[in-house]
Chain A
Amino acid sequence: DARVTQTPRHKVTEMGQEVTMRCQPILGHNTVFWYRQTMMQGLELLAYFRNRAPLDDSGMPKDRFSAEMPDATLATLKIQPSEPRDSAVYFCASGPLSSDGYTFGSGTRLTVV
């Protein structure tokens, strides 16, 4: 089965450090999302790309977060500088433009100490 690959699966970092999370969407999928999941807030949309162009990043703290798709096989989410409140599970999802739904990766569990 085709799947969305996220790396790393786990990341522990110190406050103030840069964190980069990577996502390899399913080949041929032209829609990519980044979500953050916490106990308090649930699933929050951070960024949404279509054909590598950002369509919606209103959910992302602009001062420290950035999301890019340098090519169709890679999406990145960076946090600089990281803070303890950024501790969460970050999910990437991809899908076609049709109504088939989206496939989620297994997530990156980030802990900022």
Chain B
Amino acid sequence: AQSVTQLGSHVSVSEGALVLLRCNYSSSVPPYLFWYVQYPNQGLQLLLKYTSAATLVKGINGFEAEFKKSETSFHLTKPSAHMSDAAEYFCALRASYGKLTFGQGTILTVHP
């Protein structure tokens, strides 16, 4: 069975501070992993993806994530938070046959 666990349903940071959103996965096959962002009243937008190439993946808006097989993790980071980063973030795992499994989401709040 495949699953995704996001640690922390809410994360709050100050503007300019490091953003760290945690994601752990369970998969019996090599995973494809994704981070999506959802702004209020909008659909999900792909931030970045890991597809078994480089373990450090860079995405849009200054976000990056590192795939660590030994820790079964794919945490999302950004060195300096901006007010516009406030949104809900979803980690997702794709099985080799294509089905996506999402984590429960983490709401990021950025304080001035």
Chain A interface residues toward B at CB < 8 A: 4, 31, 33, 35, 42-43, 45, 48, 50, 55-56, 91, 93, 95, 97, 99-107
B43 A45 Cβ-Cβ under 8 A: no
Asked whether, in the complex, the Cβ of B43 is within 8 Å of the Cβ of A106, the reply is yes
Supposing A48-B99, A56-B99, A91-B44 touch, asked if A101 and B49 sit within 8 A by C-beta, the answer is yes
Identify which of A4, A33, A42, A95 gathers the most chain B CB atoms within 10 Å of its CB.
A42
| Interface residue ranges, B against A (CB under 8 Å) | 32, 34, 36, 42-46, 49, 51, 90, 94, 97-102, 104-105
Residues of A within 8 Å of B94, CB to CB, are 99, 101
CB of B36 to closest CB in A, whole Å: 8
With a cutoff of 8 Å between Cβ atoms, the chain B residues found around residue A103 in the complex are 46
In contact, A50 and B98 (Cβ under 8 angstroms): yes
A4, A45, A50, A107: which contacts B100 (Cβ < 8 A)? A45
Given contacts A99-B32, A99-B94, contact A43 B102 (CB under 8 A): yes
What's the least CB distance linking A4 to chain B, in Å? Answer: 8
Which of chain B's residues have a CB closer than 8 A to the CB of A107? Answer: 42-43
**Residues of A close to B102: CB separation below 8 A:** 35, 42-43
Contacts of A100 in B (CB 8 A): 49
Known: A55-B98, A101-B34, A107-B42. 11 other contacts (CB 8 A): A35-B102, A42-B104, A42-B105, A43-B90, A43-B102, A45-B100, A48-B98, A91-B44, A99-B51, A101-B49, A102-B100
